[in-house]
Amino acid sequence: MDDIRFKIAEAARMAGVSPSTLRLWETQDLIQPIRTPSGQRLYDRALVERLKTIAWLRSEKGLNPVAIRENLRDEGTAETPSGAQAVPEDNADAAEIPVGLKVRRLRRDAGKTLEAVAQATGVSFSQLSTFERTSQGLSFTALHGVAAFLGTTIASLSGQERGKGKESLIRDGKWPTWPTTSSGVAIQVLAEGRNQMECNRFQLAPGASSEGAYQHEGEEFMYVLSGSLEIILDGDQFFELNAGDSFYFESRRPHSWHNRSDGETVLIWINTPATF
């Protein structure tokens, strides 16, 4: 069944357009059919699905050929960009899969387009596209919003939950580190596994921040080891934490943070339950 190939008239009917439209799309570099030795155009199931997508983008979204090509590239039909490494989607170790690719998989599994995620989260289409390709370009707050919309957490995307044991021993300086997705923010795992508490060590470069407020269910506790951190609750309550200070608050309150010191700020940050 998977080897079935359709002639142009059949493929056009399945896509809801005319054969002449398929020929036009070919000249516009939207689709490249399979060619027999005699030059006959054939379309397999993947190409038919692409035709249906093109038809939808043209009729429902009103996109021109240039915009359609860009949208198709953003949906992962283009070659892997220079500097990025392709990862087999079925066989790769989940712990080694880039965060951006995980987001793309979740989005596709949910049947969501980049545009739908952008509209729901307030993150731009181009930022989402770049992040899915490179795992870079989203602020801490933006990534939290995207994760929540897709029904997951930053911790899960970063692989913190892959451990299954009841105990977790991590030696000094041997902390597993989350993939870096936001400039100046390094997050190190202090307890691996699917736990009720997410225990992390944050290293914040001078000026590093959440770049906006976010909220979720649960409770949070932090203890500053060095440096200085400003945390803002509800948009109008400001707290400056210095080395040795600890702080607790409910996670459902909108919160943002910013390294106020001239040097690095390091803190222990615990969330419970695992909603971060």
- 216-267, pLDDT tens digit by residue? 889 999 999 999 999 999 999 999 999 999 999 999 999 999 998 899 999 9
Q: Which residue has the tokens 């470069």?
A: 205
In the chain, where the domains are located: 6-77, 94-157, 164-272
Mention the CATH class of domain 6-77.
mainly alpha
Name the DSSP class of 5.
-
CATH topology of domain 94-157: 434 Repressor (Amino-terminal Domain) (1.10.260)
Q: What is the pLDDT of residue 102?
A: 87
Virtual CA dihedral for 210, 212, 214, 219, nearest 10 degrees?
50
- 209-224, pLDDT tens digit by residue? 988 898 888 999 999 9
Evaluate whether 261 touches 227 at the Cβ level (below 8 Å). yes
- CATH number of the domain at 164-272, please? 2.60.120.10
The two domains 94-157 and 164-272 share their CATH topology (first three levels equal): no
Lowest mean pLDDT among 40-54, 141-155, 171-185: 171-185
Virtual CA dihedral for 26, 31, 32, 34, nearest 10 degrees?
-110
**Is 75 or 213 the better-scoring residue by pLDDT?**
213
Please give the order of strands across the beta sheet that includes 34-35. 6-7, 41-43, 34-35
- 76-105, pLDDT tens digit by residue? 543 333 333 344 444 344 445 788 888 888
Handedness of CA 14, 19, 20, 24 (dihedral sign): positive
